[in-house]
Amino acid sequence: MNTYYDIAVIGGGPAGATFARELAKARPEKRIVLIDEKPRTGSKVCGGLLAPDAQKVLAQFNLDLPKSILADPQIFDVKTIDLASGITRHYQRHYLNMDRASFDEWLLELIPENVDIIRGRCHSLTNCCPGEVRVEVDNDGEKSVLFADQIVGADGGSSIVRRSFFDSPSKLYISIQEHFKDDGGDMPSYSCIYDPETSDSCSWTIRKDGYVIFGGAFDIKGGREAYFRQKERVENFLGHSFGEAAKIEACLLTSPRRVRDFISGKDGVFLIGEAAGLISASSFEGISSAFLSGKYLADAFASKNDPEKILKYYKRKTSKLRLKLLFKIPKMKILCSPLLRKIIMKSGICSIEKY
């Protein structure tokens, strides 16, 4: 394992894994290190559904999803529940139900061997001299230090790279979900839940490999209390108890609300995926943006050497992506407005009838 690198990638989700894979193939002489947590267990706090946009991107990359990553059951509709009005509707959806942890590990396995992968948490990032960053990694209390000329932040909503080098925090939620043994009761395979009493965002239930997952996005302040209050309200509405939780997970989740929430980089530090704010404000779908931003930044590094030219190329390539995500913000405001949501759901537009 080296100590000095051309590029240190912080985070090994879809964005970081795609960047490292694509750049290592295009420029094998580059010294690249990817720093990520230990092998994951269970699902990431996002439910673990592969949306059509992400499926399209996988096809563009000529990546076929291994059967072992898929979870049971596969889902063809979402039951949307508005707790405020009591209205429920079903809408057709084309998601793939998968084990998100296995998905991320599979992407890491596709990275060429000329990339060093360090399992651990990035503890700190410090500019030690012009053009060089000191990276401290913590692996179960065992600390190590490496240096890199350039940094790529691919570490999600709680990005230490974004917090260390940029002063433009976007809206953050705490995403909490629990796993419950599936007792075979009358629980929807996939539901999207709105409850303005406990959150201005959405929650979900998903059946997955013998478990039912209930989770949602909540304000950071008082988020845990709001989560358990909402869970009780959902149980009362459905007339079904989730039972005792087998596992609980939590993480920070980004929700862009303005143009400046999308940050590409500066001074040799670059952001991709959710760390850059590239995630849908309406659905929290971020895998497609992670793949694309990782690819675009890899292309920039492959064709340019000067950091300013790399950033300029990367910004240009992601302009359409940022514009697309900007249009998701008004959609989010409509869906999360109790009055507008009630009008839409009451109309039944685009809904399907269940027999």
For the domain that residue 25 is a member of, what is the CATH number?
Answer: 3.50.50.60
Say yes or no: 43 and 153 in one domain. Answer: yes
Confidence label for 44 from pLDDT (cuts 50, 70 and 90): low
Cα Rg of the chain (Å, integer)? 21
Say yes or no: 111 and 184 in one domain. Answer: no
Say yes or no: 127 and 41 in one domain. Answer: yes
Domain span holding position 317: 4-52+103-170+258-330
Q: Which two tokens stand for residue 310?
A: 């790399």
pLDDT in tens, 260-319: 999 999 999 999 999 999 999 999 999 999 999 999 999 999 999 999 999 999 999 999
Say yes or no: 111 and 44 in one domain. Answer: yes
In b/e form, how buried is each residue of 302-337, taking b as 16+ CB within 10 angstroms? beeeebeebbebbeebbeebbeebbebbeebeebbe
Say yes or no: 37 and 180 in one domain. Answer: no
pLDDT in tens, 125-174: 999 887 899 999 998 788 999 999 999 999 999 999 999 999 877 789 99
Specify the pLDDT at position 128.
85
Within a domain: 305:
yes
Say yes or no: 151 and 22 in one domain. Answer: yes
Say yes or no: 115 and 78 in one domain. Answer: no
pLDDT in tens, 242-262: 999 999 999 999 999 999 999
Q: How many domains, the chain?
A: 2
CATH code for the domain in which residue 188 is found = 3.30.9.10
Strand intervals (E) in the chain? 4-10, 32-36, 49-50, 77-82, 87-92, 96-97, 115-119, 121-129, 132-139, 142-153, 171-181, 190-194, 202-208, 211-219, 245-255, 265-266, 269-271
Say yes or no: 223 and 108 in one domain. Answer: no
Segment 326-354 mean pLDDT: 95
Within a domain: 44:
yes
**269-271 and 211-219 strand pairing:** unpaired
DSSP percent split of the chain into helix, strand, coil, nearest 5: 35, 30, 35
How high is the mean pLDDT of the chain?
93
Whole-structure pTM value = 0.94
Interatomic CA distance for residues 54 and 47, integer angstroms: 14
Interatomic CA distance for residues 253 and 176, integer angstroms: 10
Neighbouring-strand partners of residue 150: 7
- Asked whether the predicted pLDDT for residue 46 surpasses 80, the reply is no
Say yes or no: 107 and 40 in one domain. Answer: yes
- Asked whether the predicted pLDDT for residue 40 surpasses 90, the reply is no
User: In this predicted structure, which of 40-44, 186-190, 316-320, 322-326 has the lowest mean pLDDT?
Assistant: 40-44
Say yes or no: 281 and 262 in one domain. Answer: yes
Among residues 181, 235, 231, the alpha carbon closest in space to that of 209 is found at: 181
